[in-house]
């Protein structure tokens, strides 16, 4: 039988977020290949061995706000700089091998099936670490993709995860709350100060909110500057609070 996950990937069909629980559970059990070692697996997940590798080395201590893994007796350098507009971040994994490999496959090779696993593992992290989000009026939205990145990839990776995450958690998916005002230069060459400054005013919220909690989804959180800029707009638009939900957080670096 043809695997609909691969057919969907081939035709680049976005995944609906309103799948019924029955359909989702059937798709979760479909035989698929592990993206990392090609062993047989199910539902687009890595095999058990690779899953255990992905979960290795999660930090013992994280910043309670931005989820940066911190050595003992160390203050969070990212929060000291940003004074974040977001309340907290939930991160399912650390952005290091082999997590980075999986995310790069997803973002740069259009491997849509990875969004299923990423939404699944993120949903588990939310249920464990922030179950209050499920009881509140929570809106789920992705960090918007820049126009150039969208043209290059043909899709917004954060939106793929956010849509499926909202479906799994039965929360409202509302992707048009924040969007990028303009594209600019790549942030990759900028240091943390320049990056924070660069991000200001890159996002806008065109809708008034009335005290909802907003969960902003992204694949990777690096310094928090992007999430801060999005959260700032959402708070000004009337959000009660903003929580970042990310698949992976970059590890602490002593001289970053």
Binding site for Zn ion (CB under 5 A): 34, 36-37, 39, 47, 50, 63, 65-66, 68, 76, 78-79
Minimal distance in Å, beta carbon 46 to Zn ion?
Answer: 5
Nearer to Zn ion, 61 or 152 (CB): 61
- Whole-angstrom Cα distance, residue 87 to residue 128? 17
- Whole-angstrom Cα distance, residue 233 to residue 28? 36
Distance (Å) of CA 99 to CA 38, 62, 69, 78: 16, 18, 15, 22
Nearer to Zn ion, 145 or 222 (CB): 222
Nearer to Zn ion, 123 or 227 (CB): 227
Nearer to Zn ion, 163 or 249 (CB): 249
> Taking Cα atoms as reference points, which of 168, 160, 47 lies closest to residue 112?
160
Minimal distance in Å, beta carbon 215 to Zn ion?
Answer: 18
Residues 6+ apart with CB under 8 A from 54: 46, 93, 98, 99, 102
Minimal distance in Å, beta carbon 171 to Zn ion?
Answer: 25
Minimal distance in Å, beta carbon 13 to Zn ion?
Answer: 25
Contact yes or no for 89/246 (Cβ under 8 A): yes
> Taking Cα atoms as reference points, which of 100, 126, 115, 96 lies closest to residue 17?
115
Minimal distance in Å, beta carbon 98 to Zn ion?
Answer: 9
- Residue position matching structure tokens 């809708």: 207
Nearer to Zn ion, 75 or 185 (CB): 75
- Whole-angstrom Cα distance, residue 71 to residue 239? 33
Nearer to Zn ion, 17 or 195 (CB): 195
- Whole-angstrom Cα distance, residue 1 to residue 40? 15
Establish how many alpha carbons lie within 13 A of residue 166's alpha carbon, considering only the half-sphere containing its beta carbon.
25
Minimal distance in Å, beta carbon 38 to Zn ion?
Answer: 7
Minimal distance in Å, beta carbon 135 to Zn ion?
Answer: 25
Nearer to Zn ion, 47 or 115 (CB): 47
């Amino acid at each position: 039988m043809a695997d609909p996950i691969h057919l969907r990937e081939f035709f680049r069909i976005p995944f609906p977020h309103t799948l019924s629980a029955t359909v989702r559970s059937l798709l979760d059990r479909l035989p698929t290949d592990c993206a990392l070692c090609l062993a047989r697996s199910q539902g687009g997940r890595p095999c058990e061995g690779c899953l255990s590798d992905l979960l290795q080395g999660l930090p013992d201590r994280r910043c309670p706000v931005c989820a940066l893994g911190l050595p003992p007796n160390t203050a969070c350098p990212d929060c000291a700089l940003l004074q974040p507009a977001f309340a907290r971040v939930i991160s399912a994994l650390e952005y290091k091998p082999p997590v980075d490999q999986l995310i790069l496959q997803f973002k740069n090779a259009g491997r849509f099936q990875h969004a299923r696993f990423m939404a699944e593992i993120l949903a588990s992290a939310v249920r464990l670490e922030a179950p209050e989000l499920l009881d509140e009026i929570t809106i789920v939205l992705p960090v918007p993709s820049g126009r150039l990145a969208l043209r290059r990839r043909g899709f917004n990776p954060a939106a793929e995860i956010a849509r499926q995450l909202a479906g799994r958690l039965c929360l409202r998916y509302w992707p048009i709350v924040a969007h990028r005002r303009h594209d600019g230069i790549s942030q990759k060459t900028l240091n943390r100060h320049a990056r924070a400054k660069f991000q200001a005013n890159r996002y806008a919220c065109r809708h008034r909110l009335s005290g909802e909690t907003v969960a902003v989804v992204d694949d990777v959180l690096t310094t928090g500057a992007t999430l801060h800029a999005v959260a700032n707009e959402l708070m000004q638009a009337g959000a009660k609070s903003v929580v970042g939900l990310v698949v992976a957080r970059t590890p602490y670096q002593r001289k970053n």
